[in-house]
Structure 1
Amino acid sequence: MDMTRQPPRRPTNTSMLGIVSLARLTDKARAHRANTIGEHLYGENSGLDKIVLDFLGVSHDDFADAAQRMNDAELCDWLRENYPKTEDEVQAYNNELLTWEPFDDASRQRLKDRLEKFNADPNKVKTMLQSMELDDWGCFRDTDLTQHPPRSPYNSDVAGIYGGSRMGDKARAAKAGKLNDYIYDCPIDQVILEFLNISAEDFQDAAYHNVNDIELGDWVLEHTDRTQDEISRLNEALSQKGPENDEQVAIFNITLERIAPGRTDITTWFDLLDLDDAHAYNLE
């Protein structure tokens, strides 16, 4: 996970073993190992991580090693087998974390600063975890495509769908007024949204409020009837899609000649988009 482009999952997320902040810890461990953790802290350098790791009874190095080589389901099995917890233990731990309030001058000031910075309702953001969640959301909600391109159409981190992360980037950028020359709800977006039976407006709202790819993907899967097999077939069709009529061929060839004259290996829209992004932001 590249945490320079998105935050870890919410601190209140309980999707892994029903344990508060375990999913967040997992994202940070993987980003730590990949050197893509951005401004977040992992392990002994994070107060929340230390609490979660102490509850689990595992060292930050052992956890990071496991998170790096396992997916979420495998990691849960590993924890269940090697560091088992009872339901009562999990419930007591969750209750303590979910009601954890700012405890010193520094944490109280951070909460105050975040409330002011992101114009949040102080009646809805009171606890430590709510303060962290507000900061994550506020820092990543306004994607700025004047500074960098959206992610590759081949990125499938949102619900396993090619173009999902890219569409999320454009949706947030459109809401922030920083779309640059990109188009949200472009023809490829329309194919994906029609396939999912989700409106462009609903997806944009979901992308704005779910700035982590996995959590946005969870929202998508909750709002569509599509199966993973159907998603795989969509991905194959999208990745192989090229211009289909004379008008599209003309647009395709003009763009290709402008950014990469002489290239004959670029035949799909996805490859052209990647090439155009790299050219526009001098990433070649």
Structure 2
Amino acid sequence: MTTTIESTSLKTLAKDLSQEPPRSPRDTLAGYVIAARILDKCRAFLNGTAGEYDFDCYLDNVFFGFTGIKADDFKAFVATGASDEAVAEWITQHAKPMERLELVKWNNHLRYANIKEMEDSFQLFMEDYIEKNVPKHRPIYHAFDIFDLEEGRL
């Protein structure tokens, strides 16, 4: 499902995810891992160029749950054609207040989490996903490795 785009800048900013992957889940936006990747997927979703990528998936919802931001509110702001900097500022303004240490611990948990430390639904999904999408005989030390291996960053 796609949404009609009214913003020329959104069309310019949106990647064609059938041609290039979104940013790594390790990349940060507004200080949060996953956020830059979510932004890329959201823009592509709105532009109709998401390919096989899903916006508002399990990993996206880990971010939305932690920050208290609603996916639909995020999508509505992104649809305005906001730049990365403007989205980062919007996230900072709309995320639940927290101490910096809480954010750092959350980032580090996700950066270094093993698959077995993720929720059951993620583990079940990844069991078949890894077999189909990750190069054979490549070790996966952390959950984020799955995406970076598949997308050619590792």
Instruction: Confirm or deny a common fold (TM above 0.5).
Output: yes
The alignment's TM-score, normalised by the length of structure 2, stands at 0.79
Other-structure match for 1:147:
19
Match of 2:126 among 246, 252, 271: 252
Report the CA distance shift for 1:136/1:239 in structure 2 as closer, same or farther (over 3 A): same
One-letter amino acid of the structure 2 residue matched with residue 181 of structure 1: E
**1:154–1:162 CA contact under 8 A, matched in 2:** yes
2:52 to 168, 177, 181: 181
Which one of the candidate residues 136, 141, 148 is aligned to 1:267? Answer: 141
Bigger relative contact order (CA 8 A; separation at least 6): 2
For the residue of structure 1 that corresponds to 2:55, the secondary structure is: coil
| Cα displacement (A) at 1:176 | 1.6
Query: Larger Cα Rg: Structure 1 or Structure 2?
Result: 1
Conserved in 2, the CA contact under 8 Å of 1:153 and 1:270? yes
Instruction: Pick the aligned partner of 1:194 from 65, 89, 113.
Output: 65
TM-score by length of 1: 0.46
User: Is 1:170 the equivalent of 2:45?
Assistant: no
How far residue 209 of structure 1 moved from its aligned partner, in angstroms, is 2.4
Q: Aligned-pair distance for 1:212?
A: 2.1
Structure 1 residues 194 and 206 mapped into 2: Cα distance closer, same or farther (>3 Å)? same
Q: Matched residue of 2:12: which SS?
A: helix
Q: 1:252, 1:267 → 2: CA distance?
A: 14
Aligned equivalents of 2:72 and 2:124: distance in 1? 31
Q: Which amino acid aligns with 2:151?
A: D
Segments of 5+ residues of structure 2 without an aligned counterpart are none
Q: 1:160 to 1:212 in 2, by over 3 A?
A: same
Identity of paired residues, percent? 27
Gap runs ≥5 in structure 1: 1-117, 120-133
Distance 1:260 1:252, change over 3 A: same
Change (3 A) 1:215 1:256: same
1:276 counterpart residue number: 150
Counterpart CA distance in 1 for 2:30 and 2:25 is 13
Match of 2:143, as an amino acid? W
Q: CA RMSD in A?
A: 2.6
CA distance in 1, matches of 2:81, 2:98: 20
Query: Using a 3 Å threshold, how does the CA distance of structure 1 residues 204 and 189 change in structure 2: closer, same or farther?
Result: same
Q: What are the residue-to-residue correspondences of 1:132-143 with 2, within 5 Å? A: 136-140=9-13, 142-143=14-15
